[in-house]
């Protein structure tokens, strides 16, 4: 069993990279890929744990794109952490995120929910701030009862306090990932544009833009969703991957390797992923 999608406190998770490597063994995984948003910051400590871990520890990241007017996440699996150009590009993306965060703090204040970046930073353990940290800050200041309410009322994709950031096109993300030696894969397509969205044509469009795979197994899929996306990947001759999208305490109920309890990503998917990587 493998898990090719998880996060640490270097983006919007709560565990350290070292802790995640240890959890991989506790979960009985044969491989784990770390995929923090827009950063490889947790990778050095993660890979340093390899001599102490039975599971293979793999390198990845998760990039945000704009597709059909909405945010689409693309996993860059098996990227080269030593690729200087890719690291520079990730730095550029974090700059865009920082700009969005400044504007979102202003927007929330204008809406009557006073917020500073210092308030948000106080809820994060690394410099990379996400909406998870805004949600915590809103709860800490008493503007909402709990972080989930912040997403529901204010900072969800359609909320009055949400400010979008400049995002990549899928073709840009795919090119960046391939040039860094990795494989570009659509993350959790079942969460895009609502459950009724049909992916058949959309995934063909993304395939033409350079996307090479999709996440057919996911920690929050229903059984029917998993069957649909696994079959779609096979039908389009795309790489099928899978992961829990583990975030630690920021996603209660999602466990590494098994998601909400029923996830089981076959080991053989990693072999197919590595074959796709070799083909370039």
Distance, in Å, from the CA atom of 176 to the CA atom of 174, rounded to the nearest integer, reads 6
* Domain chopping of the chain, boundaries: 2-82+168-279, 91-155
Q: Estimate to the nearest angstrom the gap between the alpha carbon of 54 and the chain centroid.
A: 24
pLDDT at 193: 60
pLDDT at 194: 60
pLDDT at 129: 87
Higher-confidence position of 69 and 99:
99
In degrees rounded to 5, what are phi and psi of residue 207? Answer: -60, -40
Q: In terms of CATH architecture, what is 91-155?
A: Orthogonal Bundle (1.10)
Q: What is the pLDDT of residues 222-269, one digit of tens each?
A: 999 999 999 999 999 999 999 999 999 989 999 999 999 999 999 999
Rounded to two decimals, the pTM is: 0.89
In this structure, the strands spanning 70-77 and 183-186 are antiparallel
Angle at 258 between CA 255 and CA 259, to 5 degrees: 55
50 CB-side CA count, 13 A: 12
Distance, in Å, from the CA atom of 184 to the CA atom of 209, rounded to the nearest integer, reads 11
Q: 2-82+168-279: CATH homologous superfamily?
A: Metal-dependent hydrolases (3.20.20.140)
Q: What is the pLDDT of residues 141-166, one digit of tens each?
A: 999 999 999 999 999 988 999 998 88
pLDDT at 153: 94
């Amino acid at each position: 069993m493998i898990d090719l999608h998880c996060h640490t406190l270097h983006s919007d998770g709560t565990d350290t990279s070292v802790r995640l490597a240890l959890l991989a063994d506790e979960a009985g995984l044969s491989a784990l890929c770390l995929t923090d948003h827009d950063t490889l910051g947790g990778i050095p400590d993660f890979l340093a744990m390899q001599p102490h871990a039975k599971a293979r520890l793999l390198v990845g990241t998760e990039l945000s794109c704009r597709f059909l007017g909405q945010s689409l996440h693309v996993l860059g699996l098996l990227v080269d952490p030593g690729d200087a150009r890719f690291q520079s590009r990730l730095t550029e993306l974090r700059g865009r995120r920082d700009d969005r965060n400044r504007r979102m703090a202003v927007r929330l204040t204008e809406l009557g929910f006073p917020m500073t970046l210092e308030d948000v930073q106080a809820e994060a353990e690394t410099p990379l701030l996400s909406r998870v940290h805004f949600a915590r800050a809103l709860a800490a200041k008493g503007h909402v009862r709990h972080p989930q309410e912040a997403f529901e009322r204010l900072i969800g994709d359609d909320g009055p306090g949400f400010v979008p950031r400049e995002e990549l096109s899928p073709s840009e993300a795919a090119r960046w990932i391939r040039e860094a030696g990795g494989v570009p894969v659509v993350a959790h397509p079942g969460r895009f544009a609502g459950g009724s969205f049909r992916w058949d044509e959309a995934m063909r469009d993304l395939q033409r833009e350079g996307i090479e795979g999709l996440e057919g197994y996911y920690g929050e899929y229903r059984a029917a969703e998993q069957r649909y996306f696994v079959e779609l990947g096979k039908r389009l001759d795309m790489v099928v991957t899978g992961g829990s999208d583990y975030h630690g305490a920021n996603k209660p109920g999602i466990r590494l390797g098994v998601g909400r309890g029923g996830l089981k990503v076959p080991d053989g998917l990693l072999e197919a992923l590595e074959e796709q990587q070799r083909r370039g």
